[in-house]
Amino acid sequence: MTRKYFGTDGVRGRVGEPPLTVDFVLRLASAAARALAPQGGSVLIGKDTRLSGYMFESALEAGFVAAGVDAKLIGPLPTPGIAFMTQHFGCDFGVVISASHNPYDDNGIKFFDRHGGKLSDEDELLIEHELENLPTTRESGALGRASRVDKTRRVYQEFCMSTLSAGVTLKGMKIVIDCAHGAAYKVAPRILADLGAEIVPIGCSPNGRNINEACGAMSPELLQLTVPGVRADVGIALDGDGDRLVMVDHLGRKVDGDQLLYVLALAEQAAGRLRGPVVGTVMTNFALESALRDADIDFLRAQVGDRYVLAKLRETGGTLGGETSGHLLTLQHTTTGDAMVAALQVLGIMRRSGRTLAELTAGLTLLPQTMLNVRVARRFDPLAEPAIVESVTAIESQLAGRGRVVLRASGTEPVIRVMIEAEDREQAKDLAQQLAKIVQHHAEHGVST
């Protein structure tokens, strides 16, 4: 069966437009309660800093309580923090109100199971089936209760700190932390400060509308200027919901998910802790695959989306994987991608080795990539369109095995992602623009759906 509402990362869209309306979110809560806790139970609800989060929090609370499920509201906390705290409280499931790296006028609802993992396709289909029924309101004695548990954030902070090796602190390090005015704006600076670092916070003043705006993992330019400007050792950029990590070395150079995965993999291998293959995605730079192969580390690719990376890791017994965008999975510590935990592992490697981030990444030279987003009226599979496939084949022939073409529909936005990887930066740019124009023309003049 095809999911109607759930994408690669929950239900997401523009606030006020179906399905992101108050009435739908209330129905979604009731459906999830019947599907995941039919005999009653408890749910943890967290969110990022979007203005609409208050509205959807109230709708979820009403739907869950009416269906007989106790609702614990923890307020702004990174998505991985909700996964962790769902387990900590012994809840039947957890819910996050967030659209991750999207602008503030988008929002979304995503779920975790009782173990802090993302829901299976079967559970999501079950919820969608329950959406066909009216919301449940139990009689008074069977209603759930709602409570605020935001003071328990400290538990998550202490967990993050515990993932550093024993005896390792950040004393003497100067770190710039950019929280994208998002969910980590309270906990991330406190974690670093409690570990002894001197911190320079930016992107830590949310107003409900500035999440991800010219800051954070999606726009690290301010961080790149700030780190060398204040002579910091390193910079950390998170996205709006705190599960995506980009770092900046002391020279102001961006370090993406592929480079961070390289640093983590070599360190885990050296420590004898690396299990199974490292897992990336079809978007992962080929240079990482080559570098890991040279280091005798197996590498596999999954579909784009951290849920697919996670599935591949579980299938193969691996513990380390991630995406170029900065979703990094360190399963020896967490059940889902956690930007702060991943950042602490990199900082720990820097402290133990005495090397800068620039030195740790020096052994990996990424192939130039150009990625363009082609906005479309409705999503479609570009590789099901013969004219587009013909163009892709022609470009692959031109690259002659010295580059890659990746063409895919986004699972979270109405865009087609066009990526060209080539040895020459200008060639990658030119070919990506050519292919993007072809996709755009096809989208504007009728597509098969």
The CATH number linked to 292 is 3.40.120.10
In a domain, 5, yes or no: no
Q: Which residues contact 326 (CB under 8 A, 6 or more apart)?
A: 217, 239, 244, 245, 246, 256, 257, 260, 339
pTM of the model: 0.89
Q: Which domain holds residue 330?
A: 255-360
CB 244 within 8 A of CB 235: no
- Please tell me whether residues 45 and 135 are part of one structural domain: yes
In a domain, 301, yes or no: yes
CB 84 within 8 A of CB 334: yes
Looking at the chain, how many residues does it have?
A: 449
Cα–Cα distance for residue pair 388/438, rounded to 1 Å: 7
Q: What is the pLDDT of residue 1?
A: 56
Residues of the chain with pLDDT under 70: 1, 412, 446-449
CB 320 within 8 A of CB 292: no
Q: What total number of domains does the chain contain?
A: 4
In sequence order, the β-bridge partners of residue 93 are 43, 113
Cα–Cα distance for residue pair 282/202, rounded to 1 Å: 32
- Please tell me whether residues 356 and 391 are part of one structural domain: no
Q: What is the pLDDT of residue 413?
A: 77
In sequence order, the β-bridge partners of residue 235 are 176, 248
Q: What is the pLDDT of residue 44?
A: 98
- Please tell me whether residues 335 and 376 are part of one structural domain: no
- Please tell me whether residues 19 and 148 are part of one structural domain: yes
Residue 302 CA neighbour count, 13 Å, CB half? 23
- Please tell me whether residues 168 and 216 are part of one structural domain: yes
Q: Which residues are catalytic?
A: 100
Cα–Cα distance for residue pair 397/403, rounded to 1 Å: 10
In a domain, 286, yes or no: yes
Of 119, 137, 152, the position where a domain reaches its end is 152
- Please tell me whether residues 395 and 277 are part of one structural domain: no
- Please tell me whether residues 329 and 225 are part of one structural domain: no
Residue with tokens 């967290």: 46
Strand arrangement of the beta sheet that strand 11-14 belongs to:
11-14, 106-113, 93-97, 41-47, 69-76, 146-148
